[in-house]
Each structure stands twice: as C-alpha cells, then as structure tokens.
C-alpha cells in the first residue's frame, strides 16, 4: 500500500497536524538552505535511505521536511523541544498514535536486521527502516491487569477508550470493528480489560444495551483533564449501543470532538484480580462452623461415663483432638501451597492473555523501540510553556502516577480527583 507522501513543513497548522493529530509522520530534519531548494522536488532533500524506502512505506505514513533548528513560538527549537540529537545524520523522528516524536537511531534499526551504525549504506538500511516504520505506526491496544497500568495507559491520557470483554481475543465481527476504529481514532488511547478475570470498578455501573448478547464487549470513554499540577478531573461515558463499526465511529467521533455528555467520577477507577477461591473458602468455613456447632451440641447432651468404657472414650477423644491439630497444621500448609499455586496461575494467565491480544492486533514489538512506554515512564507535557503552537497538545500532565513501583492504593492516595457530582450511571 506504499508510496508515502513528502511535504515541506513550516506553518503552525502543519506542525500541529504533525505533533497533535495522532497520524503517523516521519519527521526529516534538514537545514534552512536545503529547505529552500527542496520546494520544487521535496524528495531530493531526503537522505538516500529514506528516499529509497518511500515506495515501500505505508501510504498511512507521511514524511515531513522540517527546519528543526528554527525556533518555535515557545522560544525552543524542534531539536530542543523533543530532545533530538542533531549529531546523528540524518536526524529523523517518528510520531504516531498520539505519542511524542522519538528519534530513529541505529540501535533501533539494528533490531530490524541491520547493523547498529545509522545508515552505513543505503541498501543495507532501507529494508530496516521500512520494517521499523511499519511496526511503529501500528495502532496499539494495551491489555490491562492492574490499576497501575490503567493509570499509565488510560487515566494519564486526555482521551481514552476502555474495551470490556469477558473473553479475549474478541470474536470476528467485534474484532474487525475494533481494528478499524483503532486506525481511525489514533489520538484515543485504547485499552482492554478481561472482565472474566479482572474486576473493573465501573463495570457494575454500566447500563444494559438492548439487543446485546450476554457477554458482548462494551466500550467506555474516559476523559482526563488537568485542574492543577497534581490534580485532575476524570469523567466517563458508556457506549449504549451494539458493538458495531458505525455505532463505535459515531461514539468515538463525539469523544474526540468532546461533545459527549460525560459523567464526572468521584474516584479514579480501579482494577483488581477476580478471585475464584472466595466461594470455596466460604463453603469450607461454613462446614467447619457447622461441625463445631454439632460437636458442641453432642457434648452438651453427653452423660458422665464410668469405668473402662469411659476411659476408652476419653482416649479416643484425645486422639481425635491430636488428629485435628495435625489436620489443622496440614490445612495451613495446604492453604499456603494453594496461594502460591494461585499466584503462579494468575501470572501465567496474564501472560497468555497478553500474547492473545498481541497476536490479534499485531502489537508485539521490540522493547525500547519507538513508542514503547514503561509503566512508570513520564509522558511528555507539550503544554508547559503555553505558547500558541503547543497549547493544543492533548496529553495530561499527571506526574503523581509516574512512580514505577507504587502500590495501587498509594498511587490513588497521591492523586487528587477534583470533580463535581456523583457517578450513578456512566
């Protein structure tokens, strides 16, 4: 589906489209003198490798020539703003799916079949560049297994969409619809929760959808707005129609345009493992209680015993007590083993679920490549200077959730949620 278009970037509107639209852009830095001569034939200003790769690059991608040394309205250059190293020639960066631009380096290309040197020969690196770009512009959906991931991949983003499903991967029709909207709404951060395995705190508040099959996937739109340095307002709205492409498009378009009537949340949503052992434990406890009660009743009705029969019964009673103690010790060890087994099972299921999702959406990538975010990685705040160009950025500053190893409860306590009203029905 190749031949990416090449454009010369100069005005504020063009730069907003590059940095804030979520569409895939390969930013190619050139000198001011080169920019002037590139107006007639923009492709001639590209590095030989980029030029050779153009026919094989996805038509979803656009290549932009930019004077990265020119000052933005903020007073910083593009090189300074996005921490680009101009000593790497060519200086190119990739922006896609609402993430800040990341510079393409030789190490990244090395993971796609080339050496660690940046473009040693055009022929050697062209295929690697095509593979790297193709992987990094894919829309991503993240499978969640804990609240910290929910914070990182959803609540820290201005626009988020949470897919709730009792099974993963999704069935054919919902899967195709979801893959389409992932590409069409790249500024929305999509995440998924398996509600059969995890308890999502807002799931029980979702209204029923008329005509929906039991267990059909649901979609929840979430918007986060910063109200202070470490406080934010979170609101949500449930998709109330069948999980079809057209209804999803209409819903997400309103979400992006911020015309949805969202319900403010009193607390940040939480995610927890749905334990399957509570019912078993409760039944066991109930049985033990019944046995103890019955034993007490039997003891209350017994009469004094004399002679050999009483002695034998007393010995039998003591033997039962000793046996009970040994059984209790064995039960304690068994409970510990059961907890360890449950922990291992949860870890394995989470890993399997992640593999399912990666396979369905071709999400798997090399760790450390463009767009990969660690759980506690800080998100670039484009608004910090509030200049005319950069104030349109849609990432929410949420530094309170950057600590990588905080417990979910501790993280929640550090984040002030400032909202009005109660959330009765999202």
- Residues 6 or more apart in contact with residue 167 via CB below 8 angstroms: 194, 196, 215
- Is the torsion defined by CA of 49, 55, 60, 66 positive or negative? positive
- Residues 6 or more apart in contact with residue 300 via CB below 8 angstroms: none
Task: For residue 221, say if its preceding peptide bond is cis, omega within 30 degrees of 0.
Answer: no
| Band of pLDDT at residue 378, cut at 50, 70 and 90 | very low
| Band of pLDDT at residue 199, cut at 50, 70 and 90 | very high
Out of 136, 159, 190, a domain closes at 136
Beta partners for residue 234, in sequence order: 224
Is residue 382 within 8 Å of 19, Cβ to Cβ?
yes
Is residue 30 within 8 Å of 45, Cβ to Cβ?
yes
User: Locate tokens 């008329």: which residue?
Assistant: 210
Examine the domain organization and report whether 203 and 85 are in the same domain: no
Please give the torsion angle defined by the CA atoms of residues 142, 144, 150 and 155, in that order, rounded to the nearest 10 degrees.
30
| Band of pLDDT at residue 303, cut at 50, 70 and 90 | very low
| pLDDT score of 354 | 52
For 201-215, the pLDDT digits (tens) are: 999 889 889 888 888
| Band of pLDDT at residue 111, cut at 50, 70 and 90 | confident
Examine the domain organization and report whether 160 and 30 are in the same domain: no
Asked whether residue 288 is assigned to any structural domain, the reply reads: no
| pLDDT score of 163 | 95
For 34-92, the pLDDT digits (tens) are: 888 888 889 989 998 999 999 999 889 999 999 999 988 888 999 999 999 999 989 99
Q: Which domain holds residue 57?
A: 5-136
Out of 93, 120, 136, a domain closes at 136
Examine the domain organization and report whether 113 and 252 are in the same domain: no
**CA angle in degrees (0–180, nearest 5) for 262-267-270:** 100
Checking if the pLDDT of 395 tops 90, the result is no
Examine the domain organization and report whether 148 and 132 are in the same domain: no
If one counts the domains in the chain, the total is 2
Beta partners for residue 227, in sequence order: none
Checking if the pLDDT of 406 tops 60, the result is no
CA-closest candidate to residue 353, choices 140, 198, 169: 169
Checking if the pLDDT of 394 tops 50, the result is no
Structure tokens at 354: 């992640």
Examine the domain organization and report whether 129 and 11 are in the same domain: yes
Asked whether residue 306 is assigned to any structural domain, the reply reads: no
Q: CATH no. for residue 98?
A: 3.40.30.10
Is residue 129 within 8 Å of 53, Cβ to Cβ?
yes
| Band of pLDDT at residue 373, cut at 50, 70 and 90 | very low
Examine the domain organization and report whether 95 and 226 are in the same domain: no
What are the φ/ψ torsions at residue 35 (nearest 5 degrees)? -65, -40
For 170-197, the pLDDT digits (tens) are: 778 889 999 999 999 999 999 999 999 9
Asked whether residue 106 is assigned to any structural domain, the reply reads: yes
331-349: average pLDDT:
68
Checking if the pLDDT of 361 tops 50, the result is no
| pLDDT score of 106 | 85
Asked whether residue 423 is assigned to any structural domain, the reply reads: no
Is residue 179 within 8 Å of 125, Cβ to Cβ?
no
106-131: average pLDDT:
75
Checking if the pLDDT of 346 tops 70, the result is no
Examine the domain organization and report whether 154 and 99 are in the same domain: no
Examine the domain organization and report whether 132 and 158 are in the same domain: no
- Count the Cβ atoms, other than its own, within 10 Å of residue 272: 13
Examine the domain organization and report whether 87 and 110 are in the same domain: yes
Indicate the average pLDDT of the chain.
73
262-273: average pLDDT:
92
Examine the domain organization and report whether 407 and 366 are in the same domain: yes
Task: For residue 169, say if its preceding peptide bond is cis, omega within 30 degrees of 0.
Answer: yes
Examine the domain organization and report whether 397 and 261 are in the same domain: yes
Out of 136, 162, 194, a domain closes at 136
Report if pTM > 0.95.
no
Examine the domain organization and report whether 269 and 393 are in the same domain: yes
Asked whether residue 316 is assigned to any structural domain, the reply reads: no
More confident residue, 164 or 300: 164
| pLDDT score of 314 | 54
| pLDDT score of 50 | 92
């Amino acid at each position: 589906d190749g031949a990416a278009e090449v454009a010369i970037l100069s005005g504020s509107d063009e730069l907003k489209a590059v940095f804030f639209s979520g569409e895939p852009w390969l930013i190619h830095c050139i000198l001011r003198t080169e920019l002037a001569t590139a107006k007639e034939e923009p492709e001639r200003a590209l590095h030989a490798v980029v030029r050779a790769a153009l026919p094989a690059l996805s038509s979803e991608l656009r290549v932009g020539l930019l004077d990265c040394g020119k000052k933005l309205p903020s007073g910083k250059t593009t090189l300074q703003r996005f921490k680009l190293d101009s000593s790497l020639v060519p200086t190119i960066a990739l922006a896609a799916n609402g993430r800040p631009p990341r510079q393409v380096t030789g190490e990244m290309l090395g993971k796609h079949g080339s050496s660690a040197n940046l473009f040693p020969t055009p022929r050697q690196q062209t295929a690697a560049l095509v593979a790297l770009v193709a992987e990094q512009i894919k829309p991503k959906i993240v499978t969640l297994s804990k609240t910290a991931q929910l914070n990182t991949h959803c609540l820290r983003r201005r626009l988020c969409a949470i897919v709730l499903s009792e099974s993963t991967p999704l069935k054919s029709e919902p899967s195709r619809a979801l893959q389409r909207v992932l590409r069409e709404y790249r500024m929305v951060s999509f995440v998924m929760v398996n509600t059969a395995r995890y308890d999502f705190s807002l799931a029980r508040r979702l209204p029923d959808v008329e005509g929906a099959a039991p267990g059909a996937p649901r979609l929840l739109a979430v918007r986060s707005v910063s109200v202070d340095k470490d406080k934010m307002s979170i609101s949500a709205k449930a998709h109330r129609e069948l999980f079809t492409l057209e209804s999803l498009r209409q819903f997400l378009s309103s979400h992006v345009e911020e015309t949805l009537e969202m319900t403010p949340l009193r607390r940040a949503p939480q995610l927890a493992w749905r334990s399957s052992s509570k019912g078993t434990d409760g039944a066991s406890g109930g049985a033990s209680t019944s046995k103890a009660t019955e034993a007490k009743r039997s003891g209350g009705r017994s009469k004094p015993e004399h002679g050999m029969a009483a002695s034998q019964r007393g010995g039998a009673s003591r033997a039962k007590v000793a046996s009970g103690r040994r059984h209790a010790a064995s039960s304690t060890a068994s409970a510990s083993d059961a907890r360890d087994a449950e922990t291992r099972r949860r870890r394995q299921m989470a890993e399997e679920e992640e593999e399912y999702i990666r396979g369905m959406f071709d999400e798997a990538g090399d760790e450390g490549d463009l767009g990969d975010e660690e759980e506690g990685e800080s998100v670039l705040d484009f608004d910090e200077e509030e200049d005319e160009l950069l104030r349109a950025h849609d990432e929410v500053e949420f530094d309170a959730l950057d600590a990588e190893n905080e417990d979910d409860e501790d993280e929640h306590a550090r984040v002030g949620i400032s909202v009005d009203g109660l959330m009765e029905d999202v």
